A and B are shown apart, each in its own frame.
Chain A
């Protein structure tokens, strides 16, 4: 992280509301609206809650309830209309675009529903992608990539391109990509939404292992009650509010 980000961390450590060492995400009076032509569409309405370190949280709710929007805000890929989000005591709503990009590289691992692997890169290169933004040497990058591909059980598929992998395997590569920078937080947007039952179970098992063995905090949006069952806690959303 650059100097500005470090300053923000320092400032945010003085915030009274976020003193608990056990809290990794603190959401305070968070609101988000989108504008469609002249009409303001509220998506999140005055949400406040904390997520402790090491938590495996599932966000559930009907389509349009605001759960993915909240996930995007926590991951720093969208800006709140109002309120604050502290991640590890850093108020990310104060960060500029390039600070946020830098912060995401170091602090966030994002898992998408449709994997979103780069088709011209093989599994190894896809996982290596976030590390290209760090100062790690080629050798260090290789060690890290091999380690995480081993964790997700794909060390024998490093040279395979995404189209040579099944949906479940592609999602494993995406998970490897999400954890290769050793992020504070893993955010997953319907990680099993595009998978068959068997693959979905494997992916959920893998996420559970990451949570239990590597103590990774995971926030997962899902429609699937079986996936949500694997989480420690579930928060339900409806019409932009916690229900």
Chain B
């Protein structure tokens, strides 16, 4: 406690240098927090996947469709609870640069399998089932495009060419669960399928992938094998995996970018350490004589070490706290601006814990040289020091 008092007193020394150091640390911690949040946002889909949700897609690739007739066969497999399906529709709504997921789904079952996606009112779901071109949108998208019940969304098809008109019949949200992506637009698969039938398209009566819930997550592998064995020798063999593995397969496409971001985030910690180490080395060099005086008075090497490390950690913590506090409004702003690209953009507790660990680590590492210098120095040499 007495040493802490001295640590605090030392802050009066070079106020500008202290301010710049704390500012530098604050900015690096903020950059670290933002990068980690971007990385988390990338993995968010995989992280929020339900353990009891399993996805079946075409064995060759996600882009090859599967017959809709598989649904009942999958549903009959032991351990499968509820099956639904979806097809990636996409298209262009208003601006081709404004991306948000648009999917054709089976409305009767979709929100049972994705139970954490809450449709606002029962009537909305009913309307999605009964209205041919009805669609439900996430509240984030509804807010951004100011969509109300009855509004028509005109989408130019790309995978499925043509002009498609969807009537907004309802909204869904995560009801406060920030991990829920509230940027989807889903519509009745029948609307898509009927149109494809009219065009005599080979894609009619086909869906993109199946999603089903299982009654025992310990049997995931067994059930997945059973599903895939069922269609092994068909013209459309399947690959069944957990929702998390399915989502991970998308992330792995950007693996090198993610690895680069991970690397940069740790480079930032290195910069933080160097900024602090520079200040601590300068500061301790100027105080060599003072350390010698303190040793003459009776301060032990341990006291001096505590003083230097305490000061270093304290500066690092103050910068870190400021950087973290600044990160919150910035992350909120980014989440708002990039909600379509990063629907889940929040600072994770794990990011804060990593930050604190690295801040303390930087505080200790950056004081190694000053500590060695101050403790190895003889009192007589220190008193002769001119600095």
Listed in ascending order, the chain A residues whose CB lies under 8 Å from chain B are 72, 75, 77-78, 97-98, 101-102, 104-106, 110, 112, 116, 118-121, 125, 129-130, 132-133, 177
Q: Is the CB of A120 within 8 A of B380?
A: no
Q: Do A77 and B379 touch (CB < 8 A)?
A: yes
Q: Is the CB of B13 within 8 A of A101?
A: no
Interface, chain B (partner A; CB < 8 A): 2-3, 5-6, 9-10, 12-13, 289-290, 293-303, 378-380, 383
Tell me how far the C-beta of A102 lies from the nearest C-beta in chain B, rounded to whole angstroms.
7
Given A98-B301, A121-B9, A77 contacting B293 (CB threshold 8 A): no
- B296, A75: Cβ atoms under 8 Å? yes
Is the pair A118, B298 in contact by a Cβ cutoff of 8 Å? no
A116 to B296, CA, bound (A): 11
Q: Is the interface of A mostly helix, strand, loop or mixed?
A: helix
Q: Closest CB-CB distance, A26 to chain B, in whole Å?
A: 22
B2: which of A72, A75, A132 is its contact (CB, 8 Å)?
A132
Residues on B with beta carbons closer than 8 Å to the beta carbon of A104: 296-298
A-B pair number, CB within 8 angstroms: 61
User: For the complex, what is the distance from the CA of A132 to the CA of B297, rounded to whole Å?
Assistant: 10
In contact, A130 and B298 (Cβ under 8 angstroms): yes
Contact of A118 among B3, B290, B301, B303 (CB under 8 A): B290
Q: How far is the CA of A104 from the CA of B296 in the complex (A)?
A: 7
The residues of B that contact A130 with a CB separation of less than 8 Å are 297-298
B295-A133 in contact (CB<8A): no
Please give the distance in Å from A190's CB to the nearest CB on chain B.
12
Contact partners of B6 in chain A: CB under 8 A: 132
Beta-carbon nearest neighbor of B2 in chain A: A132
A98-B300, A118-B290, A132-B2 in contact; A77/B13 too (CB < 8 A)? no
Residues of B within 8 A of A110 (CB): 296-297
Residue of A nearest to B293 (CB): A116
Cα-based distance from A130 to B2 in the complex (angstroms): 11
Contact B383 A129 (CB under 8 A): no
Chain A residue nearest to B11 (CB atoms) is A120
- Given contacts A78-B378, A116-B289, A120-B10, whether A97 and B297 have CB atoms under 8 Å apart is no
- Judge whether B294 and A129 touch: CB under 8 Å: yes
Whether the Cβ atoms of A78 and B13 lie closer than 8 Å is no
List residues of chain A with CB within 8 A of the CB of B302: 98
Partner of A72, one of B293, B297, B380: B380
Give the complex CA separation of A110 and B298 in angstroms: 10
Who on chain B is nearest to A78 by CB? B380
Residues in B with CB closer than 8 Å to A102 are 298, 300
| Chain B residues whose CB sits within 8 angstroms of the CB of A78 once the complex forms | 378-380
Cβ–Cβ < 8 Å partners of A72 in chain B: 379-380
CB-contact partner of B303 in A120, A133, A177, under 8 A: A133
The CA of A98 and the CA of B301, in the complex, are separated in Å by: 8
Given A77-B380, A78-B378, A78-B379, A133–B290 Cβ distance below 8 Å?
A: no
Q: A75-B296, A78-B378, A112-B293 are in contact. Are A97 and B303 (CB under 8 A)?
A: no
CB-based contact B301/A133 at 8 Å: no
Which residues of the other chain, A, contact B297 by a CB distance below 8 angstroms?
104-105, 110, 129-130, 133, 177
Assess whether B300 is in contact with A101, with CB atoms less than 8 Å apart. Answer: yes
Kindly report which residue of chain A lies nearest to residue B298, judged by CB atoms: A105
A-B contact pairs, 7 of them (CB 8 A): A77-B295, A97-B300, A101-B300, A106-B298, A110-B297, A120-B10, A121-B9
Residues from chain A with Cβ under 8 Å of B380 in the complex: 72, 77-78
Chain A positions within 8 Å of B299 at CB level: 101, 133
User: Would you list the 4 A-B pairs with minimal beta carbon distance, nearest first?
Assistant: A105-B298, A77-B379, A132-B2, A116-B293
The distance from the CB of A54 to the nearest CB of chain B, in whole angstroms, is 23
Taking the nearest CB of chain A, how far is it from the CB of B3, in angstroms?
8
**Inter-chain contact B293/A118, CB cutoff 8 Å:** yes
Partner of A101, one of B290, B293, B295, B378: B295
What separation, in Å, do the CA atoms of A75 and B6 have in the docked complex? 25
> Which partner residue on chain B sits nearest A138 by CB separation?
B2
Residue of A with least CB distance to B287: A118
Docked CA distance A227–B299 (Å): 30
Tell me which residues across on chain B come within 8 A of A132, comparing CB atoms: 2-3, 5-6
Q: Please, how many angstroms separate the alpha-carbon atoms of A102 and B302 in the complex?
A: 12
Task: Decide if B379 touches A112 in the complex (CB within 8 Å).
Answer: no
Return the chain A residue nearest B5 by Cβ: A132
What chain A residues lie within 8 Å of B10 (beta carbons)? Answer: 120
- Please give the distance in Å from B239's CB to the nearest CB on chain A: 68
